Amino acid sequence: MAELNSPLILGGLHLKNRVVMAPLTRSRATDERVPTAMMAEYYAQRASAGLIISEAVVISEQANGYLNTPGLFTDAQVEGWKKVTQAVHDQGSLIVAQLWHVGRVSHPDLLDGATPVSSSAVQQKGQVSLLRPKRDYVAPHPLEISEIYAITEQYRQAAVRAKEAGFDGVELHAANGYLLDQFLQSSTNLREDEYGGSAENRARFLLQAVDALIEVWGAGRVGVHLAPRGDEHDMGDDDPRETFGYVLEQLGQREIAFFFTREYLAGDSISAYLKQRSGGKVPYIANMRLSRADAVQLLASGQADAVSFGKAYIANPDLYERLLENAPFNELRLESMIGVQSAEGYTDYPSLQDRAGAGCAQH
């Protein structure tokens, strides 16, 4: 029976335990999207996790939708990430790079005036995150097939740079309403060519990107991030079981290292079904609103191979130890999650050891 502290093999990744740090955008990179020494400290603090999935990393300047998110398309960015990966490795953990293109979830003001891209010209409802003064999203430019091939190559090049930077693998971000999700789900993909219509066609871009990453890393060091609920960035699909099920069938044939779903537990959850659709060949990392009891039960029952936490890892650098000991968590400071260019709310959360030391100092 698997427990939180049970080791786990995910393809070519040998995890010391089954607790995974979820990818978390924190916007602490430089204006040139270069990781900083503070970022290295942040990840090292959390390296008791069996695996860290990095914050989302843009594959080109045109892939971005937020200020100060890190990239993997310049030499300077590679050098910055080397410090991060070394800091994590020094603590005995593994880290994979989550590769990201936001698609329509951007604005010309973030793209030097260029129009954001997507599968189809379907404008997202709402206003662009973090830009002030507030402004609406715009109708995106539907990608030409030649542009799809060019972006696939950008994913491949980012994977090459991830290897140069010392990562242990890569995770393809195909979730949360970003570019690959925009192709996958029927509400945003209205295309009538080989990238639209059937689930097979809508999944084509995602799978081409997966194959590009496998070409660089081998299947055993490639993961895929999915969000079958379609509950972010104005998404939706006519038949999520079939759409995402087809994706897992294909990922099962490729025998990738893992798939990760952002899907809270409920009666209509489909992640366990998705694992079945892979033929049981793709290990599953569960995520979203998990309690400690949820995590323990998912592992004990074999429903999930590993469990992942996001916001809890922001506030608790030693979350793994807290989960083992069933210790209380620090309170999350929402105001400093994103957009604060300082250590406040980033590297200053106390560990259990810090608290114990402070208690001793007071006596």
Catalytic residues: 178
Note if the bond before 317 is cis, omega within 30 degrees: no
Q: Which two tokens stand for residue 118?
A: 């997507």
Cα–Cα distance, 210 to 203 (Å, whole number): 11
- Are 85 and 44 in contact, with CB atoms under 8 Å apart? no
* Cα–Cα dist 179/1, whole Å: 38
SS3 56: strand
Reported as half-sphere exposure (CB side, CA atoms, 13 A), residue 178 has a value of 22
Within 236-310, where are the H helices? 240-254, 271-277, 292-301
Contact between 29 and 36 (Cβ < 8 Å): yes
Residue 133, preceding peptide bond in cis (omega within 30° of 0) = yes
